[in-house]
Structure 1
Amino acid sequence: MGGGCRLGEAAPFTVMVMMEGCTIALTIMAKTAMSRGMSPFVFVVYTNALGTLLLLPYSFFLHRERAEQPLFTLPLFLRFFFLGFTGIALSQNLAFLGLSYSSPIVVCVMGLLTPAFSFILSLVLRKSKVEWRRSSFQFKVIGTLVTVMGAISVVIYKGPYIRPSSSSQELQHSKHQLFVFYSAPDNWILGCILLAASFFCVSLWNIIQLDTIKHYPQVMKIASFYSLAGTIQCAIFSLIVERNLNAWRFKLNMELLLIVITAIFGSVVRSSVQISFTRMKGPFYAPLFQPFRVFWATFFGVSFFVNGLHYGSVIGAVISGAGYYTVTWGRMREDEGQEESVKSSDEKIPLLQEDSEV
């Protein structure tokens, strides 16, 4: 009996850790492909377009939840528009650009700011009350400050190399410098700011989607329609920015395979796994594994891909990770106090996006 319980706990843990590893591996592979000439704007459009084509039939045929509210209404269309705008069009393009000036581990560190941004936005938008006497509120304030301190330390202190990139000199003279894995000193701060802005958009997206689920608690259908809206927005933007028609042509190579795998993994596999574990373990289970991306980004970046690793980035990641878990602990304490007032567990299941594939 005890062995079965241990296996029941170990299996979801192992799956979630591996899912984070796959996410980072695909992210780094995508950026590596872009360093060889693949347009990041085209990649975003094609990945989201294929993901939408997979999500639409998947959400309607395999997720047949009962709908209390009609799907095709103007308020929901507006929500889909803003979900696609914040969760795909803005966040993914900012993330791609920010990564070009920084490194994978910095992307992970800035991603840990998401719950802190969400907490700040909830206060600004008056969705949460200022309750200094509550321990949950104190945890969230302390965690937010610690996470921000970790992010700032990454911005202002790079420190010496733990392991320098073996081909950093070649990359600095590369023709496609904008999309190559190296840390350009002059643009390091700009890259960090762009990444922070990307995950601020993700936090704003979180607030919009949680409120959307309250009105229409069909997670996969909402995901498919906001994915469609975001794809259209990205396509319009990318057609303006990327005018080279050759960049839009399909080629039967590893880049096309990467697009297909990324779309399938992000739109169906990871979303289904995270939603299943959220229903099984609660709304905070899946987010607890996000700091594991720091480990995977370091492991993949140093072992297999062109990427230097700084002491400052690792120190900042550790600080931000501690702050991330502190904010999450505060949210869990608050959720326990409000558990009796929750009407439906479906309201607590977050929509799952690609996190900009970063």
Structure 2
Amino acid sequence: MARAYCHREVLPFAAMIGAECVNVGLNILFKAATLRGMSYNIFSTYSFAISTIVLIPFLFIFPSTAVLPSFKLPLVSRICLLVFAGSFGKILGYKGIEYSSPTLSSAISNLVPAFTFILAIIFRMEKVAIRSSSTQAKIIGTIVSISGAFVVVLYKGPTVSTPVSSVSLQWPLGSALSQWLIGGLLLVAEFLLFSIWYIVLAQVMKIYPAEFTVVFLYNLFASILCVLVCLIAEPNFSSWILRPSIAIAAVVYSV
């Protein structure tokens, strides 16, 4: 009984905390890499491309045992939406961190459950019973999350000075407050797209219950999309070269 409770209740909670810690570390490494001159477009491209390569062996090691449907329009359209929401969400998020800070990104990430709850209601994936204590708690949590995120965006506050090295993660002195606001709004857009991504992913998994195949296709087509964006936004091919620095560590960590 205790083991079943652990698998059902404790492990998912621990996994969510672990994933959040990983995201915080990634945001800090990415900010450090951009301060060394790395482009957020190129970072996204390398992240998706390496993830695609890493996933290839898992397709053969863990093949799906379920009977899978053929790729028809409902499935293909949802995968395309998954790719666009995920890739552009990541690009907007990295640009937002470049304008602001990893701290702001971590604070605004609390919008994901709120946005997901609202979208689940819109797409009728969540039933709303106003008299239910569970629904009331979700509504209150949604209001608090959205209000708190906009307070963080609109109020930057004083800079906390720390004895850091040459790579400082603080927002540069004298920068315009408007850039902080733009960064915050980009991060809000990122987490809205990620909420859409979660909703669409749930629909895709119901139609095509093969986790590794879906994630592989997502990373593959997101890589192609990011390459096309980079060819337009980064015409200088020398910027594609990864030199031994924090940039390589950030790209590998993002996988």
Alpha-carbon distance in 1 for matches of 2:82, 2:15: 28
| TM-score normalised over the length of structure 2 | 0.84
Structure 2 residue 78 is matched with structure 1 residue 79: yes
Task: Pick closer, same or farther for the CA change 1:27–1:45 going to 2, 3 Å.
Answer: same
Task: Pick closer, same or farther for the CA change 1:22–1:111 going to 2, 3 Å.
Answer: closer
Matched residue, 1:107: 105
Are the aligned partners of 1:35 and 1:181 in contact in 2 as well (CA < 8 Å)? no
* Aligned AA (1:214): K
2:237 to 224, 229, 245: 245
Task: Pick closer, same or farther for the CA change 1:203–1:79 going to 2, 3 Å.
Answer: same
> For 1:66, what is the secondary structure of its paired residue?
coil
> For 1:201, what is the secondary structure of its paired residue?
helix
Measured against aligned partners, the alpha-carbon deviations of 1:172-209 in whole angstroms (never above 9, x if no partner) come to: xxxxxxxx751642322211111011000000011101
Alpha-carbon distance in 1 for matches of 2:47, 2:199: 24
Task: Pick closer, same or farther for the CA change 1:18–1:134 going to 2, 3 Å.
Answer: closer
* Aligned AA (2:122): V
Structure 2 alignment gaps of length 5 or more: none
1:128 to 126, 129, 140: 126
| TM-score normalised over the length of structure 1 | 0.61
Q: How many residues align?
A: 246
| Equivalent residues in 2 for 1:22-33, closer than 5 Å | 22-33=22-33
Matched residue, 1:283: none
In the TM superposition, what is the alpha-carbon distance from 1:252 to its structure 2 partner?
4.5
Structure 1 alignment gaps of length 5 or more: 172-179, 264-358
* Aligned AA (1:195): L
Matched residue, 2:195: 203
Alpha-carbon distance in 2 for matches of 1:26, 1:224: 21
Task: Pick closer, same or farther for the CA change 1:22–1:143 going to 2, 3 Å.
Answer: closer
Alpha-carbon distance in 1 for matches of 2:149, 2:187: 11
> For 1:100, what is the secondary structure of its paired residue?
helix
Matched residue, 1:182: 171
In the TM superposition, what is the alpha-carbon distance from 1:13 to its structure 2 partner?
7.6
Matched residue, 1:34: 34
Are the aligned partners of 1:45 and 1:235 in contact in 2 as well (CA < 8 Å)? yes
TM-align CA RMSD: 2.9
Identical columns (%): 35
Matched residue, 1:146: 144
> For 2:100, what is the secondary structure of its paired residue?
coil
In the TM superposition, what is the alpha-carbon distance from 1:21 to its structure 2 partner?
3.3
> For 1:136, what is the secondary structure of its paired residue?
helix
Measured against aligned partners, the alpha-carbon deviations of 1:109-129 in whole angstroms (never above 9, x if no partner) come to: 111101100111122233334
Matched residue, 2:50: 50
Matched residue, 2:206: 214
Task: Pick closer, same or farther for the CA change 1:228–1:151 going to 2, 3 Å.
Answer: same
Structure 2 residue 161 is matched with structure 1 residue 164: yes
Task: Pick closer, same or farther for the CA change 1:63–1:116 going to 2, 3 Å.
Answer: same
Task: Pick closer, same or farther for the CA change 1:13–1:118 going to 2, 3 Å.
Answer: closer
> For 1:131, what is the secondary structure of its paired residue?
coil
